[in-house]
Amino acid sequence: MRIVLAAAGSRGDVLPFAALARGLAERGHEVTLLTHNVLLPTLDLPAGVSGVGAPSDPGTLLAGPAAQALRRGSPRALNRTRHLFADFVHAFAAPARIAVTGADVVIASSFAVAAVDAALTAGVPVIRAHQWPEQPGLDGPMPLLPYAWRLPAPARRLARGALRAVEPYLGGLDGWWERGRLQLHARHPVGLTTTTLGTLHAVSPSVVPDRAPGICVTGWWVGPDGGLSEAAAGLLMQPGPWVFVGFGSMQQSDPEQLLDQIARACAALGVRAVVQLGAAGDPRRGPATDATAVPIGPEPHSALFPLMSAVVHHGGSGTTGAAVRAGTPSVVVPHFADQYYWGHRLAALGVAPPAIPRRRLTAAALTRRLEEALRPGMQRRAVDLGARVRAEDGVATAVRYIERRVADS
């Protein structure tokens, strides 16, 4: 089969699709991965997988005013910046029209709506792939709405209905004058869940309880494990215990203050931290960069997290999955969107204390949450859950589902 994967989002959002691409290529399929051109060189695509780039940069979006408005939850600011997100989504349109030509199926991520539109226009079947549980008919919390688990079921259904109503406009509007009237039309009149062949949830069925007809909950999609760098391996041979702190692609307004908070929390508990700030800024500038909070560069989470006593992270789906697979308790510090959902789920499973929203993070709050995560009971529950999740093969399950759905169509 000729299969196109379309993945929009941060590097953490795209990596699972690279793992799925590898699994499909190993089965002999011809695979194209459509994603942001700035991410393609970082993905190490195997033979049999070609990359197509879209002219958009998730790092710029996450560091800009649209993401800041989302973090603040300001409707006025969101309205002023909505065109930035719309342009980000629409950037997939032109390359998608080329990529889907002659394809047998398109597997599209939640925000790859322009690729879904292109596929439907070309008559190519679509399977949607989400990294959180979202689908019409689900009764559980709505992951993109912070604190949705506090809403009663009728309110959750209303919220889902409202999201469905605005989804066709996520890619922006085209307008023209006709007979003296302004005509407005959605650029990509499809939604986050629009599909013709079914839906994949690339998360663990041991972690996510929500189910609905037509959904295959596969397990997280992970690729081959990489090893630690020599520097990181040598560092972690030093006395610990060690914890990890990193917030992925989330921009931090004051990395120096953050490093100071981490160092004070670790000193209070007698632990040491490896700190991976990435897009947040250069950690080497911070006053807390000492033997207690040590900055490191990019390292594979699959190799790093099993060596940690706790993982402090933003609650992105991929990082959440890596912490769970490692059998290590989390301390979730959500910034926006589905990160609140993952913090809630891990706390409900007893493998994380209650999440700390980023705006409320202090050294004292981090100390309390880390102290909970280091307790023997939470450590045991994390080990048990990790063993169950490692037994799942999300990529193989997804590949079988895709092959079956296309064959039956």
**Which tens digit of pLDDT belongs to each residue from 377-405?**
999 999 999 999 999 999 999 999 999 99
Taking the C-alpha atoms of residue 191 and residue 188, their distance in angstroms, rounded to an integer, is 8
* Domain assignment of residue 15, yes or no: yes
pLDDT on residue 69 = 62
Say yes or no: 74 and 91 in one domain.
yes
- Secondary-structure percent of the chain, ordered helix, strand, coil, rounded to 5: 45, 15, 40
Say yes or no: 170 and 289 in one domain.
no
* Domain assignment of residue 103, yes or no: yes
**Which tens digit of pLDDT belongs to each residue from 72-90?**
665 666 666 667 777 888 8
* Domain assignment of residue 308, yes or no: yes
Say yes or no: 239 and 134 in one domain.
no
Residues 284 and 295 sit within 8 Å (Cβ to Cβ): yes
**Which tens digit of pLDDT belongs to each residue from 17-64?**
999 999 999 999 999 999 999 999 989 898 889 999 999 988 787 777
Say yes or no: 199 and 259 in one domain.
no
**Confidence band (pLDDT; 50, 70, 90) for 289?**
very low
CB atoms within 10 A of CB 350: 15
Say yes or no: 51 and 18 in one domain.
yes
Say yes or no: 216 and 236 in one domain.
no
* Domain assignment of residue 258, yes or no: yes
Tell me phi and psi for residue 170, to 5 degrees.
-65, -30
Does the pLDDT at position 5 exceed 90? yes
Name the H helices within 54-135: 58-63, 65-72, 75-90, 93-99, 113-122
Taking the C-alpha atoms of residue 336 and residue 188, their distance in angstroms, rounded to an integer, is 25
* Domain assignment of residue 104, yes or no: yes
Q: Assign residue 49 the CATH number of its domain.
A: 3.40.50.2000
Question: Number of structural domains, the chain?
Answer: 2
* Domain assignment of residue 264, yes or no: yes
Does the pLDDT at position 141 exceed 70? no
Q: Which amino acid, residue 279?
A: A
* Domain assignment of residue 182, yes or no: no
Say yes or no: 246 and 207 in one domain.
no
- List, as one string, the DSSP characters of 309-335: SEEEE---HHHHHHHHHHT--EEE---
Say yes or no: 326 and 403 in one domain.
no
Say yes or no: 215 and 239 in one domain.
no
Residue 244: which domain range? 230-390
Say yes or no: 281 and 331 in one domain.
yes
**Confidence band (pLDDT; 50, 70, 90) for 290?**
low
CB atoms within 10 A of CB 189: 14
Taking the C-alpha atoms of residue 96 and residue 119, their distance in angstroms, rounded to an integer, is 8
Tell me phi and psi for residue 33, to 5 degrees.
-110, 115
Say yes or no: 148 and 248 in one domain.
no
pLDDT on residue 104 = 98
* Domain assignment of residue 225, yes or no: no
Average pLDDT, the chain: 84
Say yes or no: 197 and 121 in one domain.
yes
